[in-house]
Structure formats: C-alpha cells, structure tokens
Amino acid sequence: CNEECGGGSCVPSDAQTSITFGCTGAPVDWVVPPGVTSITLEVLGAQGGMANAGILECPAQQSVPDVGGLGGRSFGELPVTPGETLQINVGCAGGPGNAPGWNGGGGACNDPATCASGGGASDVRRSGKTLDKRVVVAAGGGGASFGCGGQGGGAGGGLVGGDAKGGEYASR
C-alpha cells in the first residue's frame, strides 16, 4: 500500500480476486463486494458417476474401468451491482447406481455394481432462485455403466453434449 492510501489497507482499482466454490449439495448466496461492477465466471458441471463393479474388477483384469463423462464448461463476463446477491449452485458428481449428482444429475438403475448416475449441473442465478433466473449454466456429465474399456458416460459440454461410449445402460 502506498501513502496515497492513507496508511490503511487498500486494494488497487485494477486488482483481481479469484473465488472458487465447490459442491456443497446446497445453494450458496454470494454478495457482490463494494466497488465490484463486473465479474468473470467460469462454471464447470460435475462428472458422471462410475459403476462399482468397474472400480473393483477392472484393475484385477489389468484394464481401465469405464468412467463418468466430464461436465460441461461455460464462461463469460457478468455486469453486477455492489450488494447484489447471486445464488451459486455447484453440481455434485454422480454416484454408483441411482445416486444422481446434486442439482439435476440424472438417475440410473438401482444396482450400483452395474451402472452410475449423471453429474449435476452448475449454475449462477440472479434476481431469484428459480431455474429461469440462471445467467450461466454448465451441464453435468453422463454416468457410466459397468465396463472395462476406459469409455463411459457422455460429456455434458458445448452446444451439444457427448454421446455415451459405454455399455447399454449408460445414462445421458
């Protein structure tokens, strides 16, 4: 801090701060700090789950288990107002069987040995908490079925998500 700051703590007007939010399984409210009028967002959807049988059996066969598809990625600039509250929703990874990731992950079969659920989406909402208040969203990846081919659920990114590459029970 230089003397122009009056001897107290100061932050140059061009300073940047990075804040990372992780999966909590619940929305998080974030209040825009004083002096901030624009934020850069990078939002990542959660990865789809992996079937338990693949985790347990594939290494014994010296093979790679099928994995859940990666979540999508969205980014951009958002004009904001100091004191405004944004709702941050970070999707959670899909789990084995019918254990969808928080924030919209798709469910799968009830057998955690043979299939896995999709990962949850991540999004930022303003002026409300309903889905229509989303200003940016990144989809979650698809869950994988049991298999030892290193393939799995489809990716949840871009304008069009990816196709599943695993067995017949992969969720999308």
Q: Which of 84, 47, 86 is nearest to 68 (CA)?
A: 47
* Res. 89: pLDDT tops 60: yes
Amino acid in position 52 = N
* Average pLDDT over the chain, rounded to an integer: 82
Average pLDDT over residues 26-36: 95
Q: Which of 126, 109, 122 is nearest to 156 (CA)?
A: 122
Average pLDDT over residues 138-147: 87
Residue 31 CA to residue 22 CA, distance in Å, equals 17
pTM (2 decimals)? 0.80
Residue 49 CA to residue 23 CA, distance in Å, equals 15
DSSP state of 75: E
Helices (H), 49-136: 52-57
Residue 32 CA to residue 17 CA, distance in Å, equals 12
Q: Look at residue 62 in the predicted model and tell me its pLDDT.
A: 72
Residue 28 CA to residue 86 CA, distance in Å, equals 8
- Token pair for 125: 């909402």
What are the helix and strand counts (H, E) for the chain? Answer: 1, 6
Burial class for 149, CB neighbours closer than 10 Å (0-12, 13-18, 19+): middle
* Res. 161: pLDDT tops 70: no
| The length of the chain, given as a count of residues | 172
Q: Look at residue 137 in the predicted model and tell me its pLDDT.
A: 94
Average pLDDT over residues 119-144: 93
